[in-house]
Amino acid sequence: MILFASAATYVPWTSAACAIILSPMDKTISPRPLFCGCCQVRSVPRVVLAARRPRGHAPGSRAHARPAAGTPRETGATTGVRGYSPPPPPVSPIRGLIDFHTHAAPDVFGRAVDDDELASLAAARQMEAVVFKSHVTLTADRAWLARKHVAGIKIFGGVVLNHAMGGLNPHAVEWMWRMQGGHGRVVWFPTFDADNHVRRAGTAPAGIRVVDERGEVLPAARAVLEVCARERLVVHTGHASGEEALVLIGAAREAGCDRIVVTHAQFDVVGMTEAQMRKAAALGARMELCALGMLTGPEAPLEWMRHSARVPVKATAACIRAVGAQHFVLGTDLGQTGNPTPADGLQMLVAALQAEGVTREQIQTMGREVPGALLMG
Ligand SMILES: [Zn+2]
């Protein structure tokens, strides 16, 4: 059991923190765009700050009356009038949970919220923690600054080993974890610069490899893993294929790493099968399940998300049942302009999983206990 400090007072929000005008799509679209936080529109100007929902109702009104203990409202059931959205739940459905994968401004891609806004929304829902991820810069320092600005939420960061950080560069990892505050806890192997990613996307003939032609982990990757093991950092497999991820997990265990996560294991760029997930779990790795996968597919409102298959929640729930909740962590991979905020996305994922029969206890395991141990244990 992991004990965490309680978060700030819950203020139900039902509207996004800000409205955004979309800019035209980047003209350099790859032949086969791959989704995740790395693929989408340019930064755009923010134009309108929306108002918060009013806090509560007039005393004495029917809506003001608090439900008795054990009523459906307290357990999160929908009690809204048919055809309308339900009232704000009295208890945040994502209270105490951790989002292992968020993207915020400033960034090289359009983001719906900045670091402080993302953290504020998470704190307002009484979440325990969020992990900031950038494909091109450190986030360990940004986690320190956002913690200074926003109370009631833990924020962690790290480094993604793309070309911007020198690829598989152990020095980047060494300086990342030394950042003041000690909030830099995560090392992602290459994402949009990964060999697997660029070959699938057709954006370059080759990218950063972690495994050679014979299936051996490259020395540079082992050098990174040695630092991760010594400093007990979380190793995220990035955009390696499912097969490559298994090889990397094996090498990570050999190096002494005991905190390993397969980045959005279900997304098509990784494409882990259930059998591969079982193998990864047997090796001690956890698989990340991300809310963004519910929003992709041909019907997606955002053009750049139509090129990747949707990850059906039914399939995710089946995976959890088959492999075991103790082998997963929850994240969103959200923060892009035009998408739900990470806090909204996590709430959406949790509600959808519960509707598919995943229990609240399993949500706590995947959304709190397992990620909490990885980040703070
Ligand atoms: Zn990704």
Per-residue pLDDT tens digits for 280-317: 999 999 999 999 999 999 999 999 999 999 999 999 99
The Å distance, Cα 357 to ligand 1 centre, comes to 27
Q: Read off the pLDDT of each residue in 145-172 and give the average, rounded to a whole number.
A: 98
Q: Give the model's confidence band at 72: pLDDT under 50 very low, under 70 low, under 90 confident, else very high.
A: very low
Q: Give the model's confidence band at 3: pLDDT under 50 very low, under 70 low, under 90 confident, else very high.
A: very low
The percent of residues above 70 in pLDDT, for the chain, comes to: 79
Query: Which pLDDT does position 77 carry in this prediction?
Result: 54
The Å distance, Cα 37 to ligand 1 centre, comes to 6
The Å distance, Cα 365 to ligand 1 centre, comes to 23
**In CATH, what number is assigned to the domain containing residue 219?**
3.20.20.140
Q: Is the pLDDT of residue 42 over 70?
A: no
Residue with tokens 């307002």: 124
Query: For the segment 203-231, what is each residue's pLDDT rounded down to a tens digit?
Result: 999 999 999 999 999 999 999 999 999 99
Strand residue runs (E) in 51-123? 98-102
Higher pLDDT, residue 140 or 7: 140
Whole-angstrom distance, CA of residue 158 vs CA of residue 131: 8
Query: Which pLDDT does position 304 carry in this prediction?
Result: 93
Query: Which pLDDT does position 45 carry in this prediction?
Result: 40
Q: Tell whether 77 is covered by a domain.
A: no
The Å distance, Cα 362 to ligand 1 centre, comes to 24
Ligand 1 (single-atom ion) residues, CB below 5 Å:
36
The Å distance, Cα 60 to ligand 1 centre, comes to 49
Q: Tell whether 61 is covered by a domain.
A: no
The Å distance, Cα 101 to ligand 1 centre, comes to 9
Q: Tell whether 26 is covered by a domain.
A: no
Q: Tell whether 13 is covered by a domain.
A: no
The Å distance, Cα 36 to ligand 1 centre, comes to 4
Q: Tell whether 7 is covered by a domain.
A: no
Largest CA distance in the chain: 73
Q: Is the pLDDT of residue 57 over 70?
A: no
Number of domains in the chain: 1
The Å distance, Cα 172 to ligand 1 centre, comes to 20
Query: For the segment 79-97, what is each residue's pLDDT rounded down to a tens digit?
Result: 667 888 888 899 999 999 9
Query: Which pLDDT does position 350 carry in this prediction?
Result: 98
Phi and psi at 19, nearest 5°, equal -105, 150
The Å distance, Cα 143 to ligand 1 centre, comes to 20
Query: Which pLDDT does position 15 carry in this prediction?
Result: 37
The Å distance, Cα 190 to ligand 1 centre, comes to 9
Query: Which pLDDT does position 23 carry in this prediction?
Result: 35
The Å distance, Cα 263 to ligand 1 centre, comes to 7
The percent of residues above 90 in pLDDT, for the chain, comes to: 76
Residue 197 and residue 269 in contact, taking contact as beta carbons nearer than 8 Å? yes
The mean of the pLDDT values for the chain is 86
The Å distance, Cα 67 to ligand 1 centre, comes to 42
The Å distance, Cα 162 to ligand 1 centre, comes to 12
Among the residues of 125-241, which ranges form H helices?
140-149, 170-177, 195-201, 219-231
Q: Tell whether 17 is covered by a domain.
A: no
Q: Is the pLDDT of residue 68 over 70?
A: no
The Å distance, Cα 329 to ligand 1 centre, comes to 15
The Å distance, Cα 61 to ligand 1 centre, comes to 47
Query: Which pLDDT does position 80 carry in this prediction?
Result: 65
Query: Which pLDDT does position 5 carry in this prediction?
Result: 44
Residues 6 or more apart whose Cβ sits within 8 Å of residue 317: 353, 356, 357, 358
Q: Give the model's confidence band at 44: pLDDT under 50 very low, under 70 low, under 90 confident, else very high.
A: very low
106 cis-preceded (ω within 30 degrees of 0): yes
The Å distance, Cα 160 to ligand 1 centre, comes to 10
Out of 8-22, 80-94, 168-182, which region has the weakest mean confidence (pLDDT)? 8-22
- H or E segment to which residue 287 belongs: strand 286-290
The Å distance, Cα 244 to ligand 1 centre, comes to 15
Q: Tell whether 144 is covered by a domain.
A: yes
Q: Give the model's confidence band at 133: pLDDT under 50 very low, under 70 low, under 90 confident, else very high.
A: very high
> What domain range includes position 298?
90-376
Among the residues of 202-273, which ranges form H helices?
219-231, 242-255
Query: Which pLDDT does position 24 carry in this prediction?
Result: 37
Query: Which pLDDT does position 82 carry in this prediction?
Result: 82
Whole-angstrom distance, CA of residue 311 vs CA of residue 288: 13
Is the pTM value of this prediction over 0.85? no
Q: Tell whether 19 is covered by a domain.
A: no
The Å distance, Cα 197 to ligand 1 centre, comes to 9
